[in-house]
């Protein structure tokens, strides 16, 4: 996955900005994840610049994900786990973050059954019947 570190960084930054609020904990998590992906090395200056200059308005999930065709299904799943980790970093999971996770999964070509454990579960009317009674 190291050869895709720039694209992975962009997708993780997209997760950090998904709810329109960037938390320091999310950037800390991204830097930690990148260091781990790089074998414990310090995050290179080029990636730090990318983190500092990332423009969520100019970011295109589909375009970035399309450059990850060389990843295996298992690596794509791992990438979604990293996205979910960034979503969890601020200890607030909202619908925008879940939509972003699902968007990344779709752009990577992963069916829902391969990541449903990472996504929010939306309860329908039948599941809610008698919930507050």
**pLDDT tens profile 27-79:** 999 999 999 999 998 999 999 999 999 999 999 999 999 999 899 999 999 99
As to burial, measured by CB atoms within 10 angstroms (0-12 exposed, 13-18 middle, 19+ buried), residue 75 is middle
pLDDT at site 45: 96
pLDDT at site 27: 94
Nearest of 94, 8, 18 to residue 56 by alpha carbon: 18
pLDDT at residue 93 greater than cutoff 80: no
pLDDT at site 66: 93
pLDDT at site 18: 92
Q: How confident is the model at residue 123 (pLDDT cuts 50, 70, 90)?
A: very low
Percent of the chain with pLDDT over 90: 68
pLDDT at site 129: 56
Q: Write out the CATH class of domain 2-128.
A: mainly alpha
Considering the entire predicted model, what is its pTM?
Answer: 0.86
Q: How far apart, in Å, do the first and last CA atoms of the chain sit?
A: 50
pLDDT, mean of residues 105-112: 93
Q: Identify the residue whose tokens are 């090395």.
A: 41
Q: Which helix (H) or strand (E) holds 107?
A: helix 95-108
Nearest of 105, 75, 123, 111 to residue 15 by alpha carbon: 105
């Amino acid at each position: 996955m190291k050869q895709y570190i720039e694209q992975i960084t962009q997708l993780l930054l997209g997760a950090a900005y998904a709810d329109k609020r960037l938390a320091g904990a999310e950037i800390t998590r991204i830097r930690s994840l990148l260091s781990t992906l790089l074998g414990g090395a310090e995050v290179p200056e080029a990636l730090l610049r990318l983190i500092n200059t990332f423009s969520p308005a100019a970011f295109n999930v589909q375009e970035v994900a399309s450059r990850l065709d060389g990843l295996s299904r298992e690596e794509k799943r791992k990438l979604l786990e990293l996205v979910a980790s960034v979503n969890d970093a601020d200890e607030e999971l909202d619908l925008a973050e879940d939509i972003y996770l699902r968007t990344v999964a779709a752009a990577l070509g992963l069916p829902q059954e391969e990541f449903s454990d990472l996504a929010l579960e939306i309860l329908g009317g039948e599941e809610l019947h008698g919930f507050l009674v």
